[in-house]
Structure 1
Amino acid sequence: MMRSPFTIALAGLALSACSQTDPQQTTSAALTEGVLVPAYSSWVETNRQLASSGVAFCADQQDLATARQAFLGAQSAWAGLQPMLVGPMGEGNLSWQVQFWPDKKNLVARQVTALLNKTPQVTPAILDKSSVVVQGLTAYEYVLYDTSIDLNDPAQKARYCPLLTAIGDHQQALSTHVLEQWQAEDGISAQLKTFPNERYAEPTEAIAELLRTQVTAIDGLKKKLGTPMGRQSKGTPQPYQAEAWRSNASMSNVSATLAGAEKIWHGANNDGIQALLGDDNKALKDKIDAAYAETRAQLATLQRPLSEMLKDEQGRKSLNDFYETLNILHRLHEGELARTLGIQLGFNANDGD
């Protein structure tokens, strides 16, 4: 059956429209495939290793140093995921099940002790119904690193091992479920690539959420440094308010989060948010590139644990210098970049801190 010229013309127009992909849709899809899904997949793998490590350590098939390395790997993957908490991990307070911070009243230590006194043989099922304070990496860190716990003592190891293996199981199950939600037929990955959908009416909304999450993560880094530095306590350092203070991993966590934010900016192949800035915005692109470079350079000079740097004047000065680079990076994203992209960021989860 022959088609009329009018029908052929309409088909041609439709094909042309489909081929003219929105730049924001292209960027959202590129970040999903090149950055977001790989980061979530890596997070799942580190949690698989954490769960396996806990079982091996508790069966005396792995030493404490190796168990700690597995923990640090899972913690670093989680820190790197902070600028990418769109979709499931940005909803329903799921992130509290991964990490409880800030722990202002040493709740982790107190609730772990209370749980084990009440239920010595913690199982994954029991942990699933327990407080988020004892379900995540902060509780795992407490068991592996706190000076009050001697895991070389068989009796203490037997006391804490059921909790370690239950946390490993919980983290593996949680991260696997989240990745499944990403990769489902109509999951977040598909929603970030094809519009409209039930989450985003248009690509602009997806880009806005990606930028909002990135801005919140960078602002969160300021809080994670500013709190132990004493910026909210009249300059008096609060070292026990630092993230991961027991494992001395505070600064490596900062590094992982900063790297995650830069991946959203650059993309896997220079196809991240920066790709949305045309030649007429080259000055802003260069300014943000320079801000990332300066922040990384400052961070590279901070070789001592955060707790040590807080003890002396030079360390505190170096931390303040680094904090200021984070502040510049944050303001560039929250202000100039958002305005240039025509994005209203709205409420920031860290506002008021």
Structure 2
Amino acid sequence: MPRSLFPAAAAICVALAGAPLAQSGHEPPERDGVGREDSFNEDLGLPYWAPGRGQVDHDAIRRRSLGVLERQFGAFRDQAARLAETSVAFCNGSVSEEEAKTSLRATWLAWAPLDSYQFGPIEQLGAALTVNFWPDKKNFVGRGLKALQSLPPEDQEDPAKVAQGSAAAQGLPAIERLLHTDIEPCPALVGVSGFLDQFSQDIHDAWFSGGGWADVARAAGPNNPVYLSSEEFTKTLYTAVDFGLTRIADSRLGRPLGTFEKSYPRRAEAWRSGLTNEIIVAQLEGIAELVAAGFAGDVRETDRAWILQVIEQAIARTEAIGQPIAEAVQDPQSRVRVESLQAKVRYLQLQTAQDLGPNLGVDTGFSAADGD
């Protein structure tokens, strides 16, 4: 069931039709080729002048960051398409269950970086819960699947019928249960993966098709009801980085950790498939890509290198756990490693507040984590 571009972005783009794109608000000095449009290095994505002079080119940040986001959203769209194809082949008996599980893993890891960007199309389309209904405190995924599997087979494999059902039975956790529990996966697997394939395309189009959210960001200025300046889009991206780290520390680690007296292994994301650790790494890598390539030269090289080094340290601590987090939190010795990772992620969040935000000239705005 195709979804049209959500009304908010469409209305914004109509309102902005014919309006000039916002300027950066200053003209960098033209000397030695610095500050001229033709001095910009498209391959490296470097700003027009050297960083560290108290000047931030928010237009350049937007251009580079949209390139990062388009790659990340495109990767999720492509993996979801492969998952749909693999699911059909699995239910036809032409590929193994292991191949279907491998495709699920690739799709989930492609989604992980996008979990940080809970604004714009992801917010407007309700994509965060549709794609990844988690935490699932009341077993809505199980109940949604039960309702889906009560339908005739031809309805179960129809993405349009899946779209009419519970959001909890439309995304990755539902597919995980179909492939990693003893319930019969087919034909519901075909319908759910087919819906996810289409929905991933909808999300990508809502961001990057004509009149999509990327165009809203490009049109930042006094006539834009969302971004009154390019700086506001930078602030949104920086807030997304902070939110992503909050999700890792508080939800992906804090929920299964519980307390020292009682851990909750089944609160770990994707515990059935054992993907919890890899999802954390993939989200950290997505944040690193935005810092390295999106914010790029508008952050002093020493500060940017330090943030990236701390991210690498967090990834190393994730890998050092040596077992799925759902298992690690149950053993006092391995639990210490999970707590150490959580501490490192919280330290990373502190460092971004001290170094990254001031470099960009912004602080965090309203976050999807506020009020949780």
Q: TM-score range by the shorter chain?
A: 0.7 to 0.9
C-alpha distance in structure 2 between counterparts of 1:178 and 1:133, whole Å = 17
- Is the 8 Å Cα contact of residues 98 and 136 (structure 1) preserved in structure 2? yes
Q: 1:189 to 1:235 in 2, by over 3 A?
A: farther
Return the letter of the residue paired with 2:74: S
C-alpha distance in structure 1 between counterparts of 2:115 and 2:297, whole Å = 22
C-alpha distance in structure 2 between counterparts of 1:286 and 1:173, whole Å = 38
Point out the more displaced range, 341-350 or 250-259: 341-350
- Is the 8 Å Cα contact of residues 309 and 315 (structure 1) preserved in structure 2? yes
Residue 177 of structure 1: aligned partner: 202
Instruction: Tell whether 2:167 aligns with 1:142.
Output: no
Q: What is the SS of the residue equivalent to 2:187? A: helix
For 1:74-153, list aligned pairs within 5 A. Answer: 74-120=107-153, 121-122=155-156, 123-146=158-181, 148-149=182-183
Larger Rg belongs to:
1
Q: 1:331 to 1:118 in 2, by over 3 A?
A: same
Residue 77 of structure 2: aligned partner: 44
Return the letter of the residue paired with 1:341: L
Shift of residue 278, structure 1, vs aligned partner = 4.0
- Is the 8 Å Cα contact of residues 300 and 359 (structure 2) preserved in structure 1? no
C-alpha distance in structure 2 between counterparts of 1:239 and 1:59, whole Å = 35
Q: Deviation string for 1:3-28 (max 9, x for gaps)?
A: xxxxxxxxxx9999995776111011
C-alpha distance in structure 1 between counterparts of 2:70 and 2:76, whole Å = 10
Residue 248 of structure 1: aligned partner: 274
- Is the 8 Å Cα contact of residues 145 and 246 (structure 1) preserved in structure 2? yes
C-alpha distance in structure 1 between counterparts of 2:28 and 2:347, whole Å = 44
In the TM superposition, structure 1's runs of 4+ consecutive aligned residues that sit over 4 Å from their partners are: 13-22
Q: Deviation string for 1:102-130 (max 9, x for gaps)?
A: 11222212331233225554222221111
C-alpha distance in structure 1 between counterparts of 2:144 and 2:252, whole Å = 23
Shift of residue 338, structure 1, vs aligned partner = 2.6
- Is the 8 Å Cα contact of residues 86 and 210 (structure 1) preserved in structure 2? no
Q: 1:202 to 1:112 in 2, by over 3 A?
A: same
C-alpha distance in structure 2 between counterparts of 1:194 and 1:209, whole Å = 15
Q: What is the SS of the residue equivalent to 1:161? A: coil
Residue 298 of structure 2: aligned partner: 276
Identical-pair percentage: 25
Q: With structure 1 as the length reference, what TM-score do the two structures score?
A: 0.83
Number of equivalenced pairs: 321
Shift of residue 191, structure 1, vs aligned partner = 3.5
2:237 is aligned, of 195, 200, 210, to: 210
Residue 346 of structure 1: aligned partner: 365
- What is the Cα-based RMSD across aligned positions, in Å? 2.6
Return the letter of the residue paired with 1:338: G
Instruction: Tell whether 2:60 aligns with 1:31.
Output: no
C-alpha distance in structure 2 between counterparts of 1:19 and 1:91, whole Å = 38
Long gaps (5+) in structure 1: 1-12, 150-155
Q: Deviation string for 1:32-81 (max 9, x for gaps)?
A: 12x11111111111011011011101111111000111111111100122
Higher helix share: 1
Q: 1:305 to 1:14 in 2, by over 3 A?
A: closer
Residue 287 of structure 2: aligned partner: 261
1:228 is aligned, of 244, 256, 274, to: 256
Q: Deviation string for 1:170-206 (max 9, x for gaps)?
A: 1111111222222223322333345434542211011
Instruction: Tell whether 2:91 aligns with 1:58.
Output: yes
C-alpha distance in structure 2 between counterparts of 1:182 and 1:352, whole Å = 26
- Is the 8 Å Cα contact of residues 118 and 240 (structure 2) preserved in structure 1? yes
